[in-house]
Amino acid sequence: MIYSYCGNSGIQLPKLSLGLWHNFGSVDDFSVATQMVVRAFDKGICHFDLANNYGPEPGSAESNFGRILKNDLASHRDEMFISSKAGHDMWPGVYGDGSSRKNIIASCDQSLKRMGLDYVDVFYSHRYDGVTPVEETMEALIQLVRQGKALYVGISKYPPHLQQKCYDILREAHVPCLLSQYRCSMIDPTAQRENFQIAADNGSGIICFSPLAQGLLTGKYDNGIPEGSRAYRSTGFLQTSQVTPERVEAVKQLAVIAKERGQSMAQMALAWVLNDKRVTSLIIGTSSVVQLDDNLKTLENLDFSAEELKRIDAIVNDPTIWF
Ligand SMILES: NC(=O)c1ccc[n+]([C@@H]2O[C@H](COP(=O)([O-])OP(=O)(O)OC[C@H]3O[C@@H](n4cnc5c(N)ncnc54)[C@H](OP(=O)(O)O)[C@@H]3O)[C@@H](O)[C@H]2O)c1
């Protein structure tokens, strides 16, 4: 594993982190979930990314992760960096959604209980909810650190015009923002344009989610929607309507470049995001140990020639095909 320092902090994170959004819930096979977490940890992936609502059922990914920790990794807590988040719809009533102090504080308490932890390493505001003043949300995060329930804090998906305000409030309270989490992949590099630089200028680490565009950038949809895949499953966030023939064709063209590089399509897609040196880590999702092992091999070839990048750009920069 390759590790790098997270912004201006003393924390190192693995270049690949494991996310538990899909495949770790109560609808999933617990033994496969266990194998993936244990394998990841054995391979140096010491950062696990969760959120209160991951499942389905919402909350069940944290409960399952807590069971895995207790059963298999109990003595390794200090070797692990565990995150959770609050801000998306989680429980009934007006306090179960959004980024109010009420939601953040109650959510963190619930997450700690589900995972059987005394503290999380980083707690994020999962999103700006469009209404709650960022002062209120950031003060809630600061409170969690003061209470010892979180060691560090982070923000996720905050728009550029609010990022700076978050960093300023947190810095002033001596709780600097450890991580800024944004979606980023070859086909969706939007965050690279503004968010990354604002984060980097403020000494925040940058961690990217959905680097494989939820599986689209693996070639797995080359011949239709395979049974059991994220687009196939009713609980999957990737919709079949997003797997268009034009996108599948474009991924086939990208796969030619991956093959020349001696990589799988997934490996090249992950390496492409890591080629942005501002990025601390990628959060990958997997549904099997085979996928995890495939993705780990990414780290064997992270370099791109200018010619390769140009060819990739020519394929992914078509707004009529991508998002
Ligand atoms: N902050 C936020 O709002 C936010 C939002 C989304 C995600 N996240 C975080 O980011 C994490 C990763 O997101 P993601 O799951 O969308 O990431 P992703 O890496 O883009 O997609 C993961 C999916 O791609 C497929 N896959 C992975 N490796 C493969 C391989 N080698 N070969 C073939 N297929 C492969 C699997 O889908 P199949 O199931 O089809 O096998 C897997 O579940 C989440 O778990 C979560 O922790 C955060």
Q: How far is the CA of 235 from the centre of ligand 1 (A)?
A: 13
Does residue 320 carry a pLDDT above 90?
A: no
Atom 13, ligand 1: residue with shortest CA distance: 210
DSSP 200: H
| Residue 321: predicted pLDDT | 86
Q: What would the two tokens of residue 109 be?
A: 């308490």
Q: What residues does each domain of the chain span?
A: 3-316
Residue 58 has pLDDT above 80, yes or no: yes
Ligand 1 site residues, Cβ closer than 6 angstroms = 19-23, 49, 126, 156-157, 181, 209-215, 218, 220, 229-230, 266, 283-287, 291, 294-295
- CA nearest neighbour of 219 among 184, 261, 253: 253
- Judge whether residue 323 has pLDDT over 80: no
**How many CA atoms does the CB half-sphere of 271 hold within 13 Å?**
24
Q: What is the pLDDT of residue 138?
A: 98
What digits encode the pLDDT tens for the residues 277-305? 999 999 999 999 999 999 999 999 999 99
pLDDT value for 318:
83
* Atom 8 (ligand 1) nearest CA: 209
- Determine the residue of 209, 230, 282, 295 to mutate for testing ligand 1's pocket, defined as the one with the most ligand atoms within 8 A of the Cβ atom: 209
Per-residue pLDDT at 319 exceeds 90: no
| Average pLDDT for 165-183 | 98
Of 116, 118, 95, give the one whose Cα is nearest residue 107. Answer: 95
Average of per-residue pLDDT values in the chain: 96
Closest C-alpha residue for ligand 1 atom 48: 209
84-98, 160-174, 230-244, 261-275: least confidently modelled range:
230-244
Percent of the chain whose pLDDT exceeds 70: 100
Given this model, what pLDDT does residue 68 score?
A: 98
Q: Which stretches of the chain are DSSP H helices?
A: 30-42, 60-68, 101-115, 134-146, 160-172, 190-193, 195-201, 245-260, 265-274, 289-296, 306-316
More confident residue, 61 or 323: 61
Task: Report the C-alpha gap between 315 and 282 in whole angstroms.
Answer: 22
Nearest CA to ligand 1 atom 10: 209
Distance 215 CA to ligand 1 centre (A): 6
Half-sphere exposure of 210 (CA within 13 A, CB side): 18
Q: What is the arithmetic mean of pLDDT over 172-192?
A: 95
Q: For atom 21 of ligand 1, which residue has the closest CA? A: 214
| Atom 29 of ligand 1, residue of closest alpha carbon | 291
pLDDT score of 230 more than 80? yes
The first and second tokens of residue 58, run together, are 């919402």
Q: What is the pLDDT at residue 64?
A: 98
β-strands 3-5, 12-14 pairing: antiparallel
Position 187 pLDDT exceeds 90: yes
Tokens of 307: 């010619």
3-316 CATH: 3.20.20.100
Q: Hunting for tokens 């080629």 — which residue is that?
A: 275
Q: Confidence class of residue 322 from pLDDT cuts 50, 70 and 90?
A: confident
For 283, the 3-state DSSP assignment is strand
The CA–CA distances, whole Å, from 52 to 119, 226, 291 equal: 14, 29, 25
Q: What is the pLDDT of residues 92-144, one digit of tens each?
A: 999 999 999 999 999 999 999 999 999 999 999 999 999 999 999 999 999 99
C-alpha distances (whole Å) from 249 to each of 57, 216, 246 are 35, 11, 5
